[in-house]
Amino acid sequence: MSSLAQEAPGALELLMGNEAIARGALEAGAQFATGYPGTPSSEIVESLARVASEAGIYVEWSTNEKVATEAAAAAAFAGLRAFSAMKTAGINVALDFLSHLNYSGLGKNGGGLVVAICDDPEGHSSGDEADSRWLASSEGIPLLEPDSPEEARDMTKWAFDLSEEFNGFFLVRSTTRISLSSGPVTLGKISNTGRKASFDTSQCISPYLARLHHSDVLKRLARVEKTFEKSSFNWYRGPQKPELIIVSSGVGTRYSLEAIETLGLGKSVGILKLGTLWPFPVKFVEKHLSKANRVLAVEEIDPFLETFVKKTAFDSTVLSSDLKVYGKETGHLPKIGELRPSLVTKALAALVEIEYVDRDAEYEKKAGDIAAKLLIDRGVTWCAGCPHRASFWSIKKALQKDGRDGFLTGDIGCYTLDVFPAGDKLTKALHAMGSGVGLATGFGHLSQFGSDQPVMAVCGDSTFFHASIPALLNAIHNKSNMVMIVLDNRATAMTGFQSHPGTTFDAMGNPAPAIDVANLCQSLGCQVVITDPFEIKDTTAKIQQLLKEDGVKVLIMRRTCELVRMREEKKPPFTVWVDADKCRGEDCGFCTKSFKCPALPWDIETEKAIINKAVCSGCGVCVDICPFGAIVKQEVS
């Protein structure tokens, strides 16, 4: 579409689910938006940032998700409509604040606050496939879940109205296939509230005393439940006396509709679609489940609906005691991974005793054989010219020369690729944002228990600001022995080059003061060394020296992300080629087997390495790692 902020009520646009959520916030009159990037949620705030000037709103990429929700809450306290978005992992970071905010509410003249959470079934871009719906139930936070981009827009708009009506924030849950797939969305009118921010200083917005506010939360949930019971986002479709009812939410609804159509069960199977998931609309569910004696719960990720359908049945005085509930707990649907239409169809077919084969084995084999000929079997790896490849090369060499079985602890970023087959596998512990430094802090105290293994933590510049600073402070104060390596590539590269406190621009593209990692670390009183990872010999020597020294040392490997550099400079720094006469071929294979740059493939005919000019970035690092001087570079004028 021409602009997400276009004023074109009634126009039909093809939008990603994330774009639709952003459009919903705009149509609701949101004036303040925050977030931290992370797949599958990144496009929500990006979409708002692109139209911030046009729409007259404020958008920021915050340091982390906790700060993001705090900043958005401040705007809501002052009477504005505010919005924040994050992936599931981020809600863990934000929950300390959000759990208290749910108790305190938004104040006397509070505006609206909506938080979008994007779960990642299958863990495509995450370290887990956690289900955020449990947080809503355990914390008593109202939650909605759309089943399409159109509904994502509609629900987001409605969530703002609900937030203001009930003086509390609301969650909108999406999953990967809703967030990243596209669908038709009929645009509505953008609400221009024209609100002026004004915070009422006669109040103190706080969750203390907790016991009293807990009572407020429960009363609010009871009121919200009454509204949810009447919501048009919950509906039943099917016969009045079905053989079986599917209870579904999110993308599971779309898959269930497809399964019913595929099996021709429209006259015998009904579907009960729920869009308001917490508080659970018990009376609405009870009313429709009385139509049948069997229920199949279709949902991503955990058996959340399944659990509360069973609870509803157990507590009910209306439903039959013979009601059977099937789903993930009964093995009809898998507890792990993404839902697929075929999985839902298979489960439904089994329950109604219809033979169903998704694809026959012969078809699958033929399709696989054809795909194998057309597609390159290529694992995930760093881009050609990525500074991280050179960084990990130097780290590996330094650890080998040190000889004490040292290792790395890491976290989340492009450098995570070290643990994949194309990496060096130096990282021995990898969990969450900033956890590499926290783990190294602990490993750095183990010498008194007999360990002499040196430990280094690696983090990116965006992760440094997000979650690594507290761990660094802990290491310094408690006198740990460790090396903290900051891979400063001046980008939040893995999620799409969003701004962070170390970049010279903000989310809206405006100039912003960049906070220098080295200066910040030096102010803490620890030793700080800066190196260019492309200077491999120098970098390796510096790492070796730091491994010998006690205390906390910070090594900053500073080199701009190659994708950023290429966009800015429009040309490679060097032309690189292989001197076939000097290349030892199979007798060496050092560049292809060890360095593993994707621009250095193997020529089957000559049995020697070659440069793939279509992929090569011209960084020239391979020239320095070739032991026989067979790779040559020439500076591009």
The dihedral built from the CA positions of residue 624, 627, 633 and 635, taken in this order, carries a sign that is positive
CA distances (Å), origin 399, targets 59, 409, 416, 548, 566: 43, 13, 18, 11, 31
Decide: 190 and 27 in contact? Cβ < 8 Å. yes
- According to DSSP, the β-strands at 276-278 and 143-144 are antiparallel
Decide: 125 and 40 in contact? Cβ < 8 Å. yes
What is the Cα–Cα distance from 261 to 234, expressed in whole angstroms? 20
Band (pLDDT 50/70/90 cuts) for residue 226 is very high
- Long-range contacts from 325-332, C-beta under 8 angstroms, 24+ separation: 325/295, 325/297, 326/294, 326/295, 326/296, 326/297, 326/351, 327/296, 327/297, 327/298, 327/299, 327/303, 328/297, 328/299, 328/302, 328/303, 329/303, 332/296
Band (pLDDT 50/70/90 cuts) for residue 494 is confident
What is the Cα–Cα distance from 172 to 332, expressed in whole angstroms? 27
Identify the DSSP state of 241: S
In the block, tokens 């489940």 appear at 289
Question: Which among 208, 150, 225 is positioned nearest to 184, based on CA atoms?
Answer: 150
Q: Which CATH number fits domain 12-229: 3.30.1360.70, 3.40.50.970, 2.60.130.10, 3.40.50.11690?
A: 3.40.50.970
Band (pLDDT 50/70/90 cuts) for residue 211 is confident
pLDDT tens per residue, range 505-563? 999 999 999 999 999 999 999 999 999 999 999 999 999 999 999 999 999 999 999 99
Using a pLDDT cut of 90, give the percent of the chain over it: 85
Which helix (H) or strand (E) segment holds residue 211: the answer is helix 210-229
Decide: 417 and 381 in contact? Cβ < 8 Å. yes
- According to DSSP, the β-strands at 244-248 and 294-298 are parallel
What is the Cα–Cα distance from 528 to 517, expressed in whole angstroms? 10
Identify the DSSP state of 516: P
pLDDT tens per residue, range 315-366? 998 888 889 999 999 999 999 999 999 999 999 999 999 988 887 778 888 9
Do the two domains 235-351 and 571-635 of this chain adopt the same fold? no
Q: pTM of the predicted model, to two decimals? A: 0.93
The CATH number assigned to the domain with range 571-635 reads 3.30.70.20
- According to DSSP, the β-strands at 631-635 and 574-578 are antiparallel
- Once rounded to an integer, what is the mean pLDDT over residues 144-150? 98
- Look at residue 245 and give its three-state secondary structure: strand
pLDDT tens per residue, range 37-70? 999 999 999 999 999 999 999 999 999 999 999 9
Which sequence spans correspond to the domains of the chain? 12-229, 235-351, 387-568, 571-635
- Phi, psi for residue 45 in degrees, rounded to 5: -70, -35
Please state the separation of Cα 391 from the chain's center in Å.
Answer: 25
Check whether domain 235-351 has CATH 3.40.50.920, yes or no: yes
Longest dimension (CA), the chain: 86
* Residue 488 neighbours by CB distance under 10 Å: 24
Of the CA atoms within 13 Å of residue 412, those in its CB half-sphere come to: 19
Check whether domain 387-568 has CATH 3.40.50.300, yes or no: no
Length of the chain: 637
